Amino acid sequence: MRLLCGLALFLCIGVELCAQDQDQGEEQYEGPSILTRDPTLAGERGGKLVDFQLYGELTGIYDSGLTPVAVNSSGQLNTSSDDYGGQVGFGAMGSHTWEFDEVKLDYHGDYRRYTPNNEFGGTDQMLQFDWNHVVSKHVRLDVHEVGGIQTLSYGPLAYVPLRNTDLIGVPTNLLFDQKTYFTQSGVDLVWQKTARLSFGLGGDGFLSRYQAASLAGVSGYRARGDIAYRITKQQTVYASYAYQEFDYQRAFGNANMQMGQLGWSLGIGRLWELSAEGGAAEVRSLGLEQVPIDPAIAAIVGPGYTTVTSQRNTLIPIGQATITRRFHRSAVNATGGITVSPGNGVYLTSRQTTATLNYSYAGGRRLTASLGVGYSRLQTLSQQQLSDYGGFAGGAGLGYKLFSNASFQCRYDLYRYAVQNVSSKDENRVTVGFAISSGERPLAIW
């Protein structure tokens, strides 16, 4: 209720500013983006949108530390030491703009096979699609779709750039290497009421499913709204509210939450952009909890505890900050934040803290490159008694045009996680191979 009152107050201030703005009669202009409407990096490389490009690849692969949902005869995780194999991949990326429409696409699919043990062989697929349509002079419609299949814990996410932390339907922080299916669909409507004042309204639905019966899939939806006011051509302030719900499969429990935030964004020319927002989330989780029973009763029935249904209410701070620096042929993006996550199949509703740094270069006639590192931490907000999870992921890739449409490419990825005082795991991946693309410039699949 406090969140709703705060948002209502900010809306009233916005309406008053709107009246002042109409009196001034200024021309409509574009300002810095805001996080609640932050576009993904689909179809973008080196900080710039690129034309559509098709590519195919043939690579050799090496993986270590892959872990199925199984234990060995000693009761320990059955982690694989070394896996060698080959991989065939195909993809499409890029963007195109018409008079009233813009389409952005990133797709990467592959099929791999290991020898002699093909336990982790199979396919990974990742699709990210954005469509923006100008309905009228003051109204814009945005449609977003993300979906895929992955077997490895990092899977195709190493190839497709993801920046928007609103992609809660994309599974991350996975503990095991096993088949996972996921999708998230969203629609947003932005109404530019005046040159300075705009309103956003949208919603999305998502789900993830795990092949292993011991992992809990999740379905959910979210409704959101925001109001933004451009103070100057370089600065925007805004307020946002969202309601979302998680419903778990193969595990008793669900969660719903209300989130309210205030934000500010700043653009410095065409090179720098800074955005920050902060607020609070009220999380209500329903689950099963073990409670002790009276010793006299326990002496008759046996166990000293019983399992009951319980509800837990938690109020946590949330927020996010991102900074982007664009160069002539490259871009650097750093993001950090705290939000509520649906978990990873083992952890259910959790507080998630993340930090990422990404660099991409895609402007030369022969060379493309990328570098990315990220950290994530999960702290359960449900009735689960689990230690904190901490994960680190990093990767670097290089593409070099050899001749015509053929390129050499190589990549290294590291994925490491630790469950406090319980277990830890390292995964390494190396890929080396060749690719053919339809573009005149070097292949830029990252």
Q: What is the structure's pLDDT at 441?
A: 63
In this predicted structure, what is the pLDDT of residue 223? Answer: 95
- Listed as ranges, residues in the chain with pLDDT below 50 are 1-29
Determine the Cα–Cα distance for residues 326 and 332; give it in Å rounded to an integer.
6
Beta bridge partners, 260, equal 241, 280
Q: Where are the domains of the chain?
A: 2-437
75 contact partners, CB below 8 Å, separation of at least 6: none
pTM above 0.75, yes or no: yes
Q: Over the stretch 342-384, which tens digit does the pLDDT of each residue have? A: 999 999 999 999 998 988 887 677 888 888 888 999 999 988 8
Which residues, at least 6 apart from 285, have a Cβ–Cβ distance to it below 8 Å? 253, 254, 255, 311, 312, 314, 348, 349, 381, 382, 383
pLDDT of residue 442: 61
289 vs 305: CA distance, rounded Å: 10
Residues 6+ apart with CB under 8 A from 279: 3, 240, 259, 260, 261, 262, 317, 318, 319
Contact 159, 126 (CB under 8 A): yes
Q: By the 8 A CB rule, do 317 and 280 touch?
A: yes
- Residue whose pair of structure tokens reads 């599974």 in the numeric block: 171
DSSP string, 137-195: SSEEEEEEEEEEEESSSSGGGGTS----TT-TTS--S-SS-S-EEEEEEEEEEEEE-SS
Task: Please give the pLDDT value at position 11.
Answer: 39
Burial 8-30 (b: 16+ CB within 10 A, else e): eebeeebeebbeebeeeeeeeee
CATH of domain 2-437: 2.40.160
